[in-house]
Amino acid sequence: MAKGRLIRVRGQVQGVGFRPFVWQLAQRMGLRGWVLNDAEGVLIAVAGGDLGAFEVALVAEAPALARVVAVEGTEWEPEESAEFEIRASGPAGAETGVTPDAATCPDCAEEIRSAGRRQGYAFANCTNCGPRFSILKALPYDRAQTTMAGFTLCPECAGEYADPGDRRFHAQPIACPACGPRLWFEGERGAQDGDAVALAAEALRAGKVLAIKGLGGFHLCVDATNTGAIDLLRARKHRPGKPLALMAGLELVKRHAQVTEAEEQRLRDPAAPIVLLRKGGAALPEALAPGQVQLGWMLPYTPLHHLLCDAMDRPLVMTSGNLSGQPQVIGNADAREKLAGFVDGFLMHDRDIARRLDDSVERADPPMVLRRARGRVPGTLPLPKGLPDAQVVAYGGQMKSAICLVKGGRALLGHHLGELDEALTWEAFQQADRDYAALFDHAPQAVAVDLHPDFRATRHGRARAEAEGLRLIEVQHHHAHMAAALGEAGWHPETPDDRAVGVILDGLGLGPDGSIWGGEVLLGDYRAVRRVAALRPAPLIGGDRAQAEPWRNALVRLDQAGLGDLAGRLFPQAPLALARQVAGSGVNAPASSSAGRLFDAVAGCLGICPMGQSYEGEAAMRLEALADLADQPIGAGGYAMSIEGAEIDPAPMIRAMAEDLDMGVVPGVIAARFHAGLAEAFATAARAAADEAGTRVIALSGGCFQNARLLREMTLRLDGYQLCLPREVPANDGGLAFGQALVALAQLESR
């Protein structure tokens, strides 16, 4: 008898329809044997026919939500069977991965719009789509361990669930109107009779603000074509300028935005992220994103969203349902308590949300994940070669917090949590720590934290290390950023002497010398780095207030350039004399090499929210938008900065900018010249460091590289070098934990 094959498939292969896919593939190819789930993934025993073609098809034709990491085959003695069957699953395990939530597939989208028992049903799903991580309470991933446990399947749904030829075979959230979650609309007098979606659409068309329960939390929703409704939402939420995310079907998106093929692909991805798109076509109210050339769009990603978008046939604002500074609301009672003050109604349902997940935010060109959340987590990332097979937990930073767990050669970078100073975000952080550890059976050997002793994440990690007797590894902020970019690109030293250069530009991070870093050129590897160049430091007048008020940063940079009189003309209402006194004393004015604060300084000089930003990064974002509106191509000349030894001094740039201001050069051109000059200075320093060290590898990371123009300017000037760029791992502090984990692994190895 011919030998068969025993095939192990590893990766994200459970809860994605992989077993029925294998069964259907075997039927098509005339094979016999069996398939089952177990603690390591999917196990297949197969005989008869072309087994080589079968193994190739396992990867090439895998279900849309599957992520195959490895296919391992060995010889197998076939059993006496003429059929191929799906066998009962073995024990569950954390090695198989948990599937992220996935947007409604085309089949389910068509089903809710067609005659049948799920027509108009807001919770239709199948093995190719629907809620996963947002409803999961514990492993193994089956209905009893999700928030669908209380919904008993009707006979029709039970039949679909049990049929391997049906697209709903073992779809754990399977439901229909007879047995699944229900939807209702609540107004001032409570739940209202009638079609919930129609009632919500009527309220939105009347200019009202609604709270809509989605997949990972509540959204606040208004008609995006109604300026009055947008202004009302902003006034109630105390969010005067921060861009608002939009939702619409693809045809509508294309009416209001320029959509490239790559951007359409991102929009259509099962993760259904918010994608930043340049404005174009029919104009929408400027109030959606004041001072910006882009808007954040997402396609409807649940049946509820599809039905509401159909009923409205116009773009909708879908912004996080939360009190200012607090995390997104996920519970019905919590929503009524916290959101009632600024909404006019609720579109509710009774399927509980197990964990809060914000919408992911992404860009297609250059490709980059800006916020890693719903649809992307808990997907894992491969580790670069050469690091030890150890378990590490890394706790990230204070802003844009996220947790990273490393196990079995892969890293799980958790979802965006937010600012840890906020009490409810801190609770969410602690829950996520417990949550991920339990879901992935994680037992760390080391804990990695930021060097800053006062970060809540650092204190948490130190306390855990002490309590459990684990090794604590403190990782300098910018080293972690560099490691994250290197690691995502898969860089690994071929010899012990191999080094890479890192250009790390961000807001603030504690340096090993006790000063505040933020504009750095580093040289090293995962284990250790040294600083080879940095932006000339400037005092942060008022400490944290310097991050909120750009005039403070403009003042110190103008004074350093010998242009103190210009500060008086630009900021007549600011207390300049007192600020200079504080800067001179050094009290509550720490020196910082922050590139982010240099962006604020230039923005302030151009009159961009000089006296105060209404949200983090507003000045820099508006400066980028201003540059993009100018007729200045990428690679054009910019303002020169001086490089003397290890110091990059922006004073010549500031003086050249002041001359352009006096000459009446339009602000957009000045903004573009600033971007080009900054890129040229740091690219020059990076090339010099790389050439001296004998390396061609340069990593770019830090929150400033979320700026697409700056990233393009830098990559153009570093042509010919091997660039390690942020793609799936956020360049901002959302990727910090991934880098910390890699540094910790390298230091464990070198111990």
CATH number, domain at 434? 3.30.420.360
- Cα separation, 268 vs 325, in Å, equals 30
One domain for residues 467 and 538:
no
Assign 1 a pLDDT band (cuts: 50, 70, 90): very low
**What is the band of 11 on the pLDDT scale with cuts at 50, 70, 90?**
confident
> Considering only CA atoms, which of 121, 136, 132 is closest in space to residue 349?
121
Residues 6+ apart with CB under 8 A from 258: 277, 278, 279, 280, 281
Together in a domain, 298 and 318: yes
121-172 pLDDT tens trace: 999 999 999 999 999 988 777 899 899 999 999 999 999 999 988 999 989 9
- In this structure, the answer to whether residues 389 and 300 fall within a common structural domain is no
Which DSSP string corresponds to 462-474? HHHHHHHTPEEEE
CATH code at 51? 3.30.70.100
Pair (330, 457) in one structural domain: no
Query: What is the amino acid identity at position 199?
Result: L
User: 470 and 382, same structural domain?
Assistant: yes
Q: Average the pLDDT over 337-359 and give the result.
A: 95
Pair 130, 104: CB distance under 8 Å: yes
Q: What's 319's DSSP letter?
A: E
pLDDT digits (tens, 9 = 90+) for 294-305: 999 999 999 999
Residue 646 is assigned to a structural domain of this protein: yes
Average pLDDT over residues 706-723: 98
177 occurs within a structural domain = no
Q: Is the same domain home to 339 and 397?
A: no
pLDDT band of residue 197 (cuts 50, 70, 90) is very high
Instruction: Dump strand ranges (E) for 208-279.
Output: 210-213, 218-223, 246-247, 257-258, 274-279
Please say which residue of 33, 64, 94 terminates a domain. Answer: 94
Nearest to 625 by CA among 573, 680, 672: 672
pLDDT, residue 189, reads: 84
Residue 2 has pLDDT above 70, yes or no: no
Q: Give the bridge partners for 406, in sequence order.
A: 392, 411
For 128, the token pair is: 């190719």
What's the full length of the chain, in residues?
751
Which residues are CB-contacts of 439 (< 8 A; sequence separation ≥ 6)? 94, 98, 136, 138, 139, 378
Q: Report pLDDT for 77.
A: 87
573: confidence class by pLDDT, cuts 50, 70, 90: very high
Residue 369 lies in a domain: no
- In this structure, are 352 and 394 located in the same domain? no
Mean per-residue pLDDT over the chain, rounded: 94
Lowest mean pLDDT among 88-92, 206-210, 461-465, 741-745: 88-92
Whether residue 700 is predicted with pLDDT greater than 90 in this model: the reply is: yes
**Residue 516 clears pLDDT 60, i.e. is over it:** yes
Q: Which among 401, 317, 327 is positioned nearest to 358, based on CA atoms?
A: 327
Q: Summarize pLDDT for 29-60 with one digit per residue, the tens.
A: 999 999 998 878 899 999 988 999 999 999 99
Which candidate, 195, 194, 217, places its Cα nearest to that of 302?
Answer: 217
Per the structure, the count of domains in the chain is: 4
Q: Which two tokens stand for residue 651?
A: 């004073």
Mark whether 462 and 586 lie in a shared domain. Answer: no
Percent residues over pLDDT 70 in the chain: 98
Q: Are 31 and 23 in contact (CB under 8 A)?
A: no
**Tens of pLDDT, residues 236-251:** 999 999 999 999 999 9
Q: What is the domain extent for residue 393?
A: 378-489+731-749
Return d(Cα 254, Cα 419) in angstroms, integer: 34
Q: How many CA atoms lie within 13 A of 463 on its CB side?
A: 8
CATH code of residue 351: 3.90.870.40
DSSP E strands in 286-331: the ranges are 294-298, 316-320
- Domain of 583, CATH number, reads 3.30.420.40
Of 215, 106, 122, nearest to 177 by C-alpha is 122
CA distance 401 to 418: 5
What is the C-alpha to C-alpha distance for residues 212 and 348, in angstroms, rounded to an integer? 6
Task: Determine the pLDDT at residue 643.
Answer: 97
Q: Is residue 163 part of a domain?
A: no
Specify the higher pLDDT residue, 1 or 429. 429
Top pLDDT among 92 and 403 is at 403
- The DSSP-derived string for 662-715 is HHT--HHHHHHHHHHHHHHHHHHHHHHHHHHHT--EEEEESGGGG-HHHHHHHH
pLDDT at 106 over 60: yes
Does 93 have pLDDT greater than 70?
no
Active-site residues, by number, are: 19, 37
**Statement to judge: residues 598 and 662 lie in one domain:** yes
Q: How much of the chain, in percent, has pLDDT values that exceed 90?
A: 86
Query: Averaged over 292-321, what is the pLDDT?
Result: 97
The yes-or-no verdict on residue 196 having pLDDT over 50 is yes
The answer to whether residue 368 sits within a structural domain is: no
**How far is residue 460's CA from residue 26's CA, in Å, rounded to a whole number?**
50
Predicted pLDDT of residue 467: 97
Instruction: With residue 534 as reference, give the H or E element that holds it.
Output: strand 529-535
In a domain, 89, yes or no: yes
505: part of which helix (H) or strand (E)? strand 500-510
How far apart are the C-alpha atoms of 244 and 290, rounded to whole Å? 10
Assigned domain for 593 exists:
yes
- Point out the domain boundary residue: 299, 328, 361: 361
Determine the pLDDT at residue 749: 76
Q: In this structure, are residues 517 and 593 in contact, taking their beta carbons and an 8 Å threshold?
A: yes
Query: Is residue 528 situated within a structural domain?
Result: no
350 in the same domain as 442 = no
What's the pLDDT band for 326 if we cut at 50, 70, 90?
confident
Residue pLDDT, tens place only, 597-630: 999 999 999 999 999 999 999 999 999 999 999 9
Domain boundary among 361, 390, 407: 361
- Shared domain for 684 and 719, answered yes or no, is yes
Considering the domain architecture, whether residues 611 and 735 belong to the same structural domain is answered as no
Q: Are 375 and 358 in contact (CB under 8 A)?
A: no
Cα-flanking dihedrals φ and ψ of residue 246, to 5°?
Answer: -120, 150
For 680-689, the pLDDT digits (tens) are 999 999 999 9
pLDDT in tens, 461-501: 999 999 999 999 999 999 999 999 999 999 999 999 999 99
Structure tokens at 329: 């609301």
DSSP H helical ranges for 258-354: 261-268, 303-312, 332-339
Split at pLDDT 50, 70, 90, the class of 92 is low
pLDDT computed for residue 455 by the predictor? 96
